[in-house]
Structure formats: structure tokens, C-alpha cells
Structure 1
């Protein structure tokens, strides 16, 4: 595999860095199934199922740190053959970007935590305690079964067309 075969997302080149890291996020190449790729990667790197599950958790994992480019490319080739997608990044650039990014910009509240402030909570209680307003039904009436729904006075008269059918015969 040459640099031309690899996509720009897989390799970021840097002339000043001689040492590289191999980063894997659990991405799978199109046309491969998750279980199949996980099994191939585990077999290729002699991993047990727990370690393979941890690799494919979706978190960014550095598989190898501080290796030369040929070694990183060799490991990347083994991953690509198994159907996994990883990338090679310069070690110094990777550490600088990790320091500049906040570790967890967003987080989820634990289950059962009250996420509303006091005003929002009071508004919700007021809305729940109010009884729904039903529309008035006094103007409606019920007719017995079989009654015509439309009165004769409400139906417009039907004009009978004056047709000459003397030209037609059944023969």
C-alpha cells in the first residue's frame, strides 16, 4: 500500500515530525460488517473479546505511540486488510491538539437528576394541576336512528335535464 492508496483522512503528513501515532476510533470500512471486522482485528492482533470490544467502543484510541512511519503504515495496512479504518498522525501535533480541546464539552445528567430550574418546575406543576377546558356541547342535538341528516329544505332542487333519446335504439 502506498501513500496514493490511502485517503487524506488516514494520513496527515508532517515534514518536521519523525515520530507518529496510530489513532483508531472504531470506524469500519464500507462493505464490511461490525462483527466480521471486530473478529478479524482480534485475530490479527491476538486480542481477547473484551479488548476488541474496547477498541470498537467509538472512543479515540492510540494503538501505537511514537513509532516510525514504516511501522505505523504496516500496522495501518493490517487494520485496513481487516476492514477497520485508522489514521496516522504526527505525535507532536496530536498531543498539542488534545491539550487545546476541552476533554468533555458536553455531558449527560445522571438518571433521575432534576434538570429543570425552580421556575420551570413551578410552571410545569401549574400546567399539570389545571383542568382542561372542554367546549360547550349545548347547541348540539341527537336524532333517532334512520333520520335523514339533511332536511328537504336544505337540499337544492335537482334540475331534470331535457334529453332527446329518440335517436337511440337497442338494435
Structure 2
């Protein structure tokens, strides 16, 4: 099934004003002004990817109604092909001796230049642990830090532990004797 992405490069529909399109896109995407400004930065911004054709058409039509011209592209389908080489032929006597040993590593043909760098890497064949086994190595408990707390003391029971009053925390002046005249 083909997948598509929809992107926007700041292109406006004929007759649309920048201010009106920004307002419409703000409403459409329910985004703040900063995100909408990124859409009009001049760069190609991918709005959504991995959509089917019907989904990408909904986005394109909604943006067209808002006055913005969206770009729709098919996403490339990545298919990785791996060719396994046949295991080397072993004499019957050698195969009997090696039956207790682990199987030989697989040879994989590189798919491109990047993977060609990993052709000579030998890695052990790790198996799968049984269900319920602990995969984390056991750690020794961390020793408690040595702290000198001798300069601290406890407040007496019932004391006020709030912040110390500041000079600016004086009560407001009494204004009950003031009156407003019409």
C-alpha cells in the first residue's frame, strides 16, 4: 500500500493574502503564531507523513480552502534484501566434533557501501533468555554518603516553620477614616 507525505513551502493560492492564510492555518491546525510562522519560513515543512491517499487528499483540500498550496509526495518504499551464503561444507568427522560447539556465524552480503564496512565483523550468536530470567547484572548496594550534619538542629515542638518575616511584611495602613465624595 502506498504511503504519502504532505508538505508546505509557503506558497499561497492565487488571490489569497498572507495575513488571511496565516489566520486560516492557525484555525485549521490549532497552532500558535510561532508554529505558523515556521510554515512561512521559505523552507519545505512536512506537515504529516505516512498517510494513505484519502488521508493526504483531506489535508490537501483543507489547506487549499485555507488558501495554501500543499505539496503531496509518495514516500519511497524501503525494501531490504539480504542474501545468505551457504554454510561451508565440513567433513563428517569435523562436523561430529563441532556438534557440541556453537554454529558458525552467518555470512551476509552487503547491500550498499555503508553495509560493506561491516562484512568482517564477528559477533557472537546471542540466544534468547528463558521467560522470567533476570537480564540485569546484580549490583552491590551503593554506600551511604558520609555527611556532617552537626551544624543543624531541630526546632522546638509547635514553633512556626514558615519564612522569616521581612520588613516589607508590615500590615497595611488603616484607611477606614477616609471617605470618597461624589
TM-score (norm 2): 0.41
More helix by share: 1
Q: Which protein, 1 or 2, shows the higher relative CO under an 8 Å CA cutoff with sep ≥ 6? A: 1
